[in-house]
Structure 1
Amino acid sequence: MTESSPTAAVLIIGDEVLSGRTQDTNLNTIARFLAALGIDLIEARTVGDRKAQIVEALNALRAGHDYVFTTGGIGPTHDDITADAVATAFGVALPEHPEALAILERRYGAEFNAPRRRMARIPAGGTLIANPVTDAPGFQIGNVFVMAGVPKIMTAMLEDVAPRLRTGAVVHARTVRVTGVGEGSVADILSAAAQANRDISYGSYPFGHGSVGEIGTNLVVRGRDAMKVDAAVEALLVELAAAGIEAMQT
């Protein structure tokens, strides 16, 4: 929204997401997490379990944003290659991290086998991200935060990530519900409002298409100055009323 606000990107890693076997919910969780901190989520990509593809995407994203959050691919199996790819992207070695090793040894005891030991490999220079659910840590290196793909674990890891981030001004959002007409009927009004208020974001989200019930659209007004957002909503309601369009703030 503004130049002073940190920006972020999400890289979702896993063949299971691309195949449709697993429905990703992590993006929504991270988006809400970042919004509460005033960090603008600008971009999201999904890639498979292919090292070259992960490296390429990660290097592009970390160069273009203040923060990058990856999910998936840090487990004990052969296709968990995120740590390898991150190490390659940063041009560093991938040794066993002593603290990670100790955490995993305590967790698994006599069942701490070679596959589980793979999870102790952390790119050189990386710091651990705590995992209060299963203990196996994620890690941070540079502006990249590498987390688990399992939603419950990823969400728990965000608690350790939050204090490390530079925050910005929170975005305030208001919704105006338009009923009885489709979004094409309000497009000109919305466009004029957007042109008149460059520091305010306007979005239109229609509902009821193809159904017998009520049709309309939700107009969402966003901005970092709450007073300006409220004023923009009031102005929008006036313009809609003047055009004979039924609308109300929800």
Structure 2
Amino acid sequence: MPTAAMIVIGDEILSGRTQDVNVQVLARALGEKGIRLAEVRMIPDDADTIVGTVNALRAGHDHVFTSGGIGPTHDDITADCIAAAFGVGIDVREDARAILATNYADPERDLNAARLRMARIPDGATLIDNPVSKAPGFTLGNVHVMAGVPKIFAVMVESVLPGLTGGQPMLSDDVLIDRGEGDLAAPLAEIDGRYPTVSIGSYPRVHEGRFIVNIVARSEDAEALAAAMAELRGLA
């Protein structure tokens, strides 16, 4: 199964002022495509950090997805950092400019310098469609650069995924067990050992004053997953 990494870029995420929801959207979409989201890093709006993180992750995974930092303001530096990571130039590109111009009745007046920042695309990149606000993302090499706004991020993911080659889709199933993790630890370990192709996770929660556990199993092997789930349901 191909692997992917995600880089969530933004001081507002790390400060807690903004809650990220894009990781969940990407993880689910990639799983259905047969690409495993193997790693997520949340980093600040710092050029050296962005460049270093992009280069580290693009070398270790089939795909890297970024969210955030491609807007019109001074702290939107992701596009420049991607260009720096690949060692290529960056400038306003006419196809991206033409797309942005469709947002305005008088683009010569309204498409100002700040808005044109969203048309600055690294050399050699392919545009990612954005039917919501028109400002495109882009793909350079195996790095897919997307907006941080959740609605826009989601449609950009939909634009990119058809062009990616995945493996066997990841299947999942779960069971809720009205027992504590301490009671389940030993039998869970035994079941996990019997099914090496199945990933089994234990997620406790409190319900009406008592501990219960949601057991989630994931695998590319449908038969192994079904067999493991039969044993897990037997623990309830």
Same-fold call, TM cutoff 0.5: yes
Instruction: Determine the structure 1 residue equivalent to 2:133.
Output: 134
The 5 A counterparts of 1:144-183 are 144-179=143-178, 181-183=179-181
Q: 1:177 to 1:212 in 2, by over 3 A?
A: closer
Instruction: Determine the structure 2 residue equivalent to 1:117.
Output: 116
Instruction: Determine which of 91, 103, 123 is the counterpart of 2:87.
Output: 91
Alignment partners' CA distance in 1, 2:116 and 2:232:
58
Alignment partners' CA distance in 1, 2:21 and 2:211:
28
1:110-163, CA deviations, whole angstroms, 9 ceiling, x for partnerless residues?
211011111111111101001101101000000000000111111111221011
Matched, 1:58 2:54: yes
The 5 A counterparts of 1:69-80 are 69-80=65-76
The code of the aligned residue for 2:175 comes to: V
**Is the 8 Å Cα contact of residues 13 and 19 (structure 2) preserved in structure 1?**
yes
Instruction: Determine the structure 1 residue equivalent to 2:26.
Output: 30
Count how many residue pairs are aligned between Structure 1 and Structure 2: 233
Alignment partners' CA distance in 2, 1:103 and 1:158:
19
Alignment partners' CA distance in 2, 1:159 and 1:173:
21
Gaps of 5+ in 2: none
Instruction: Determine the structure 1 residue equivalent to 2:63.
Output: 67
SS at match of 1:122: strand
**Is the 8 Å Cα contact of residues 197 and 221 (structure 2) preserved in structure 1?**
no
SS at match of 1:155: helix
Alignment partners' CA distance in 2, 1:194 and 1:222:
11
Alignment partners' CA distance in 2, 1:222 and 1:135:
37
User: How far apart are residue 107 of structure 1 and its match?
Assistant: 2.1
Instruction: Determine the structure 1 residue equivalent to 2:211.
Output: 215
Gaps of 5+ in 1: 241-246
Instruction: Determine the structure 1 residue equivalent to 2:196.
Output: 198
The code of the aligned residue for 1:160 comes to: S
**Is the 8 Å Cα contact of residues 195 and 224 (structure 2) preserved in structure 1?**
no
**Is the 8 Å Cα contact of residues 65 and 146 (structure 2) preserved in structure 1?**
yes
Alignment partners' CA distance in 2, 1:214 and 1:203:
20
User: How far apart are residue 212 of structure 1 and its match?
Assistant: 4.7
The code of the aligned residue for 1:161 comes to: V
Alignment partners' CA distance in 1, 2:217 and 2:42:
28
The code of the aligned residue for 2:73 comes to: T
Instruction: Determine the structure 2 residue equivalent to 1:184.
Output: 182
Give the TM-score normalised by structure 2. Answer: 0.95
SS at match of 2:53: helix
User: How far apart are residue 56 of structure 1 and its match?
Assistant: 0.7
